[in-house]
Amino acid sequence: MTITYVDTCKLPTPYGIFNMHGFADSVNDKEHVVLTMGDVTTEAPVLARIHSECLTGDSLFSLRCDCGAQLQAGMHKIATEGRGVIFYLRQEGRGIGLLNKVKAYHLQDQGLDTVEANEQLGFGADMRDYSILKPMVEHLGIQSVKLMTNNPRKIAAMKELGLQVTERLEHETGRNPHNAHYLATKKGKLGHMLDGE
């Protein structure tokens, strides 16, 4: 097993107090965290979000994407319900890494869309690996989830891991003039389930 549990601590946030569980990936030399609130081991489906790290959106408040808004909305919804989980995976730039993401952004500045930019750099449109979720889910004792996502790949990945997805909850937020083309590309080329125009 490449993913190993490290430790758990309290994480007070503006949305409430979460438990933060640390996991180490020995193969990819990555460190992932899972935030939980309430008892996630019961049979009732757990409100869940799979969130890939986005330094620019999550921490630097970039308007080029909707990532930061999605993370905050997910934390708020879990806090409102009093129970849930956020898998925070260190897969920056759909898995291409931060510096390659800077290169991809530069290509987007010149007119390419997010998929074309990744492909011009020699990457796939989406390089993320969701199989790393399995040991995290097993460690936390999660049986089924209500998944906050617009991405059909995340639903398929959870089902492939043998985890029941009882419901997909629309999670569209953070639309603005700077990311309209980005969102249109996610919908048109990556099949994301987005309603806004």
Q: Which residues are annotated as part of the binding site for Zn(2+)?
A: 54, 65, 67
Q: Is residue 69 part of a domain?
A: yes
The two three-digit tokens of residue 100, written as one number? 């390659």
CA-to-CA distance for 54 and 67, rounded, in angstroms?
7
Instruction: Cite the DSSP H helix spans in 48-97.
Output: 67-81, 92-95
Q: Does residue 39 lie in a domain region? A: yes
What is the model's pTM? 0.89
Catalytic (active site) residue 7: no
Backbone angles phi, psi at 195, to 5 degrees: -100, -35
Tokens matching residue 31? 């460190």
- 63: which residues sit within 8 A by CB, 6+ positions away? 176, 178, 179
Is there a domain that residue 139 lies in? yes
Q: What is the pLDDT of residue 186?
A: 56
Q: Is residue 7 part of a domain?
A: yes
Based on its alpha-carbon atoms, the radius of gyration of the chain, rounded to whole angstroms, reads: 16
Report how many domains make up the chain: 1
Q: Which of 58, 66, 113, 128 is catalytic?
A: 128
Task: For residue 73, tell me if it sits in a domain.
Answer: yes
Q: Given this model, what pLDDT does residue 197 score?
A: 46
- The answer to whether residue 18 is domain-embedded is yes
- Check residue 9 and give its pLDDT: 98
Q: Extract the annotated binding site for GTP.
A: 49-53, 70, 92-94, 114, 149, 154
64 is catalytic: no
Binding residues, by number, are: 49-54, 65, 67, 70, 92-94, 114, 149, 154
Full residue range of the structural domain in which residue 36 is found = 3-91+128-190
Binned average pLDDT, 10 residues per bin, the chain of 197 residues: 91 97 91 96 94 92 88 95 96 86 90 85 82 92 91 86 87 70 59 55
98 domain-assigned = no
Q: What is the 3-state secondary structure (H, E, C) of 138-196?
A: HHHCCCEEEEECCCHHHHHHHHHCCCEEEEEECCCCCCCCCCHHHHHHHHHHHCCCCCC
Q: Residue 103 falls within a domain, yes or no?
A: no
Q: Which amino acid is at 180?
A: A
Measured CA to CA, the distance from residue 160 to residue 131 in angstroms comes to 9
d(CA 2, CA 68): 28
Q: Which of 29, 90, 126, 195 is catalytic?
A: 126
Letter for the amino acid at 77? Answer: K
**CATH code of the domain in which 74 resides:** 3.40.50.10990
